[in-house]
Chains A and B, each alone.
Chain A
Amino acid sequence: MAGLVVRRARRQRAFRWAVLVVLGTFFVFPLIAMIEFSTRDSQTWPLLADWPRLSETYPDLAAGIVASLGQAALTSLLMLVLLVPTAIWVRLRLPRLRRIVEFLCLLPLTIPAIVLVVGLAPVYAWVNYFLGGSSLTLVFAYTILVLPYAYRAIDAGLSSIDVRTLAEAARSLGASWTTVIWRVVLPNIRSAVLSAAFLTVALVLGEFTIASLLHRTNLQVAIDYLGKSSATMSVAVSLAALLLAFALLLLLSLFGNRSARESR
Chain B
Amino acid sequence: MAEIATAAPQRVARRPRLRGASALLGTVPFFAYVTIFLVIPTLVVVIGAFAADAGGFTLANVRSLGDEYIVAAFGRSITLSAASALIGAVFGALLAYALVTAKTGGLLRRVVTAACGVLAQFGGVTLAFAFLATIGLSGFLTLWLTEHGFDPYANGVWLFELPGLTLVYTYFQIPLMVIVFLPALDGIRPQWREATESLGGTTWQYWTRVAGPLLAPAFLGATLLLFANAFSAYATAAALVSQGSPIVPLQIRGALTSEVVLGQANLGKAMALGMVIVVAVVMTLYSLLQKRTARWLG
Q: Please list the residues of chain A having a beta carbon within 8 angstroms of any beta carbon in chain B.
A: 4, 12-13, 15-16, 19-20, 23, 26-27, 29-34, 36-38, 82-83, 85-86, 89-90, 93-97, 101, 104, 107-108, 110-123, 140-141, 143-144, 147, 164, 177, 202-203, 206-209, 212-213, 220, 223-224, 227, 231, 234-235, 238-239, 241-242, 245-246, 249-250, 253-254, 257
Q: Which residue of A37, A118, A242, A253 contacts B117 across the interface (Cβ within 8 Å)? A: A253
Q: Does residue B140 face the partner (Cβ distance < 8 Å to A)?
A: yes
Provide the residues of chain B in CB contact with A15, threshold 8 Å: 98, 101
| Complex A-B: 14 CB contacts under 8 Å | A15-B98, A16-B101, A20-B112, A23-B174, A27-B115, A112-B231, A116-B41, A143-B37, A144-B38, A208-B238, A209-B234, A209-B235, A213-B257, A227-B129
Count A/B pairs, Cβ under 8 Å: 224
Q: Contact at A110–B130, with CB atoms within 8 Å? A: no
> Chain A's interface: helix, strand, loop or mixed, by majority?
helix
* Complex CA–CA separation, A120 to B257 (angstroms): 14
Q: How far is the CB of B252 from chain A (nearest CB, A)?
A: 5
Q: Of residues 133 to 157 in B, which have CB atoms within 8 Å of A's CB atoms?
A: 133-134, 138-141
Q: Does residue B122 face the partner (Cβ distance < 8 Å to A)?
A: yes
Provide the residues of chain A in CB contact with B17, threshold 8 Å: 93-96
Q: Contact at A33–B275, with CB atoms within 8 Å? A: no
Provide the residues of chain A in CB contact with B160, threshold 8 Å: none
Chain B residue with Cβ nearest A241: B126
Across the A-B interface, the 4 shortest Cβ-Cβ residue pairs: A119-B41, A112-B232, A37-B133, A33-B140
Q: How far is the CB of A54 from chain B (nearest CB, A)?
A: 18
For the complex with contacts A89-B27, A235-B129, A250-B114, 6 further pairs of A-B residues with Cβ separation under 8 Å are A85-B26, A104-B39, A110-B280, A114-B232, A118-B41, A206-B122
Q: Contact at A86–B269, with CB atoms within 8 Å? A: no
Chain B residue with Cβ nearest A257: B110
Q: How far is the CB of B283 from chain A (nearest CB, A)?
A: 5
Provide the residues of chain B in CB contact with A37, threshold 8 Å: 133, 139-140
Q: Contact at A123–B40, with CB atoms within 8 Å? A: yes
Q: Contact at B30–A101, with CB atoms within 8 Å? A: yes
> Chain B's interface: helix, strand, loop or mixed, by majority?
helix
Q: A33-B139, A33-B141, A118-B44 are in contact. Are A112 and B256 (CB under 8 A)?
A: no
Provide the residues of chain A in CB contact with B37, threshold 8 Å: 120, 123, 140-141, 143-144
Q: Contact at A246–B20, with CB atoms within 8 Å? A: no
Q: Contact at A93–B26, with CB atoms within 8 Å? A: yes
* Complex CA–CA separation, A26 to B91 (angstroms): 11
Q: How far is the CB of A180 from chain B (nearest CB, A)?
A: 12
Q: Please list the residues of chain B having a beta carbon within 8 angstroms of any beta carbon in chain A.
A: 13, 16-17, 20, 23-24, 26-27, 29-30, 33-34, 36-45, 48, 91, 94-95, 97-98, 101-102, 108, 110, 112-115, 117-119, 121-126, 129-134, 138-141, 171, 174, 197, 231-235, 238-239, 249, 252-253, 256-257, 268-269, 272, 275-276, 279-280, 283
Q: Contact at A206–B124, with CB atoms within 8 Å? A: yes
* Complex CA–CA separation, A34 to B134 (angstroms): 7
* Complex CA–CA separation, A234 to B239 (angstroms): 12
Provide the residues of chain A in CB contact with B39, threshold 8 Å: 104
Q: Contact at B129–A118, with CB atoms within 8 Å? A: no
* Complex CA–CA separation, A220 to B234 (angstroms): 13
Q: Contact at A83–B30, with CB atoms within 8 Å? A: yes
Q: Most B CB atoms within 10 A — which of A115, A123, A206?
A: A115
Q: Contact at B121–A245, with CB atoms within 8 Å? A: yes
* Complex CA–CA separation, A187 to B201 (angstroms): 55
Chain A residue with Cβ nearest B131: A30
Provide the residues of chain A in CB contact with B44, threshold 8 Å: 118-119, 121-123
Q: A94-B23, A114-B275 are in contact. Are A27 and B101 (CB under 8 A)?
A: no
